[in-house]
Amino acid sequence: MSYFGEHFWGEKNHGFEVLYHSVKQGPISTKELADFIRERATIEETYSKAMAKLSKLASNGTPMGTFAPLWEVFRVSSDKLALCHLELTRKLQDLIKDVLRYGEEQLKTHKKCKEEVVGTLDAVQVLSGVSQLLPKSRENYLNRCMDQERLRRESTSQKEMDKAETKTKKAAESLRRSVEKYNSARADFEQKMLDSALRFQAMEETHLRHMKALLGSY
């Protein structure tokens, strides 16, 4: 079996959004399924009613002549067809109720899920911010190092050299903090992303299992 947690890290960490968007389709599918089954139920009901009408036509067949007994056969067969499709209609109507009930539960689950995964969304944004900061800090530090090196070659005064060294140290400290922030954000993101991936996968599995069970009666 394949797991959401093994995939969907995605370029620029967009995997979360992809997964979340996919999971959000669940209730839409459920609603569409209910609409689909409702349409089918209407079709079956129309057919059943038409068959019942046809059965009446058969029972109005002329009772004279040698062909007359055949009308009874037509009447019975039309009645049976009407009944079959009426039963199907009723089953489908029950199924719609089940689907709608499931749809309501699903919406609750999704609301709860949305609250629970909001932390992951934050982690994605924090990581994104830190990721942009890191190269800037690195560049700043490198520039300071080059400045210091240039001053040394130009035999600048000790005072100027000290100033430059202080700046370099500050830049180094800033870079160190950025790296720490990035590592921490990355770890946080990975943990939360794994959690969310597991949660989404569980939801999708439950969803599909539910839909499959519902479709068993279609």
Inter-residue contact 200 to 6 (CB < 8 Å) = no
Inter-residue contact 86 to 48 (CB < 8 Å) = yes
List the one residue from 6, 7, 10, 32 that touches a second copy (CB under 8 A).
Answer: 32
Q: Which stretch binds a second copy (CB under 8 A): 94-102, 128-136, 187-195, 208-216?
A: 208-216
List the one residue from 14, 20, 47, 199 that touches a second copy (CB under 8 A).
Answer: 47
Q: What is the DSSP letter of 12?
A: G
Question: Percent helix, strand, coil in the chain (nearest 5)?
Answer: 90, 0, 10
Is 202 near a second copy (CB under 8 A)?
no
Q: Which stretch binds a second copy (CB under 8 A): 52-60, 130-138, 141-149, 163-171?
A: 52-60
CB of 115 to a second copy, least distance (A): 21
* Interface of this chain with a second copy, residues 111 to 150, rule: CB under 8 A: none
Which residues, other chains included, contact 192 with Cβ-Cβ below 8 Å and sequence gap of 6+? 119, 120, 123
Inter-residue contact 217 to 95 (CB < 8 Å) = yes
Q: How far apart are CA 174 and CA 50, in angstroms?
A: 80
Residue with tokens 């600048």: 156
CB of 123 to a second copy, least distance (A): 24
Residue number, 118 or 208, with CB nearest to a second copy: 208
Is 36 near a second copy (CB under 8 A)?
yes
CB of 180 to a second copy, least distance (A): 39
Residue number, 171 or 197, with CB nearest to a second copy: 197
Residue type at position 65: G
Is 40 near a second copy (CB under 8 A)?
yes
| Nearest CA among 87, 83, 80, 92 for reference residue 40 | 92
Residue type at position 177: R
Interface ranges with a second copy (CB under 8 A): 21-26, 28-29, 32-33, 35-36, 39-40, 42-43, 46-47, 50-51, 53-54, 57-58, 61-62, 64-68, 70-71, 74, 204, 207-208, 211, 215
